[in-house]
Amino acid sequence: MRIGIVCYPTVGGSGVVATEMAIALAQRGHEVHLLSYDRPGRLRRGVPGLRFHLVQVSAYPLFRYPPYDLALATRMLEVREEADIDVFHVHYAIPHAVSAFLARSMCGDNACMPFVTTLHGTDITVVGSDRAYMRPTRFALEQSNAVTAVSRYLAEETQLVFGVRKEVEVVHNFVDVERFKPVARKPWRERPDEERVLVHASNFRPVKRTADVVRAFAAIQKQIPARLVLIGDGPDRDHTLAVASDLGCIDKVEHLGMQENVQDLLPQADLFLSASETESFGLSMLEAMSCGVPSVSTDVGGCSEVLGDTGRLVPFNQPEAMAQAALKILTDEALHQRLSVAGRQRAIEHFATDRIVAQYEAIYARVVG
C-alpha cells in the first residue's frame, strides 16, 4: 500500500508516534511518504521504502502568519499525484485534517484521497476546544474517512467536546520493545552512596508541569540519595531549573536537552516521574515501562490506561504525594523489581509495535475499500 503520513516534526507524542509509524510501515513493506514543515527528530535515515517531503511555506510580507494549512494541502495533493497515494494518515487534527479535506476537495473526487485522522490530545482538549477552531475541527473530523484516538479517555473527550457523529476508534500508542528494553544495572545498594536515578522526558510545555517534577524530586532527595535527569526542551525549561535552584537541589538535577538516543538513556533510570495536568496517553511513560522503569504519574487523562497496575498514580498538583509514592518504590527493592517486570511485560503484551501497526493497517484497508 502507498501511504502518506502528515505530522508535526516536534518531540511531542504526535510527532514521535507518526514518525515511528512511518518507519514501521516501511519496514513492513509499504511505500510511505512522510510530510512535515521540518525533518522530524525521530526520523532515521536510510529506511528503505520511506521518503520525506518538506512542506515549504512562503514568507510573503503581506501575511502576518504564513498559511501553513494551504501550503500543506497543496503539498499533499502534489505527493498524491506523484506517488499515487492510496490513503493519507494525518496526526493531530489542526490543521492537518483540514488540509487533508482541502486537498481532497481540490482533487475533485472524494474517492481520490481518503484520509484517516488520529487525535493525540491537545488538538482536542486545548486547541480544538478553542472557539476559533472548534467548528473547523468538528467539520474536519466528520469529513475524515476514519477517526482514531490514542486512548479511551481521549475518544470519550472528543465525543463530549465536539459531539461528532462519526465513530472515534481507540488505537493506543505503541513502543518498539526491541529498541526500548532493559539493560543490566547494579542494584542501588551496590552503587556509590546508593544513589537512585529518576528521569523525566517531555517537551517542557506548561501542561507538563515540569516544575512539579522538580518539587517532588526535592522532597525525595531529602530522604534518600537521588539524582534527577531531565530529557527534552521547551518553554518551561528555565522556570523548571529556577525552581530546582530555589529548592536547593540544582546540583542534583541534570538537564540533557533534546536527545536522539532516548532508548539508551531511559534504561539507566530507576523511576520515571510525570506530573502532567492532562495527558491523553503518556508515550514517554510507555517507553520507560518498556525499558523496565516503573513510573509515578498524576492520575489524569489516559495515564491509567498505560500504566495499569505497573506504576503508581497520584492526584494532580500534589508533588508531596508524588514524592511519597516514589519513595515507597525506591526504598523497597522487591516492589521495584515487581513493577519493573510487570511494566515490561505490559508493554510487550499490549503496546508492541506490530500489534498496534496491524490495527492501523486494517483501518487503511477498510478505508481504501
pLDDT digits (tens, 9 = 90+) for 31-50: 999 999 999 988 888 899 99
Q: Read off the pTM.
A: 0.90
61 vs 15, residue with greater confidence: 15
Q: Is the pLDDT of residue 9 over 60?
A: yes
Find out whether 239 and 208 touch, Cβ atoms under 8 Å.
no
The arrangement of strands across the sheet holding 271-274 comes to: 253-257, 226-231, 196-201, 271-274, 295-298, 312-314
Do 328 and 363 share a domain, yes or no? no
Of 48-62, 260-274, 284-298, which gets the smallest average pLDDT?
48-62
Tell me the C-alpha distance between 311 and 125, whole Å.
Answer: 25
Given a cut of 60, whether residue 106 has pLDDT beyond it is: yes
Same domain, 168 and 205: no
Task: Grade residue 155 by pLDDT with cuts at 50, 70 and 90.
Answer: very high
Complete DSSP assignment for 80-120: HHHHT-SEEEEESSTTHHHHHHHHHHHHT-TTS--EEEEE-
- What φ, ψ does residue 314 adopt, rounded to 5°? -130, 160
In which band, very low, low, confident or very high, does the pLDDT at 61 lie, cut at 50, 70 and 90?
Answer: confident
118 within 8 A of 171, measured Cβ to Cβ: yes
Q: Are residues 207 and 162 in the same domain?
A: no
Instruction: Looking at the structure, tell me whether residues 97 and 197 fall in a common domain.
Output: no
Closest CA to 10 of 37, 49, 28, 33: 37
Same domain for 115 and 69: yes
Cα–Cα distance measured from residue 280 to residue 17, given in angstroms and rounded to the nearest whole number: 13
Q: Where is pLDDT greater, at 162 or 35?
A: 35
| Residues 134 and 202 occupy one common structural domain | no
Residue where the block lists cell 526542551: 233
Residue 91 sits in which domain range?
Answer: 2-174+353-368
Q: pLDDT digit string (tens) for 316-334? A: 999 999 999 999 999 999 9
> Of 182 and 189, which is predicted with more confidence?
182
Looking at residue 133, what is its pLDDT? 81
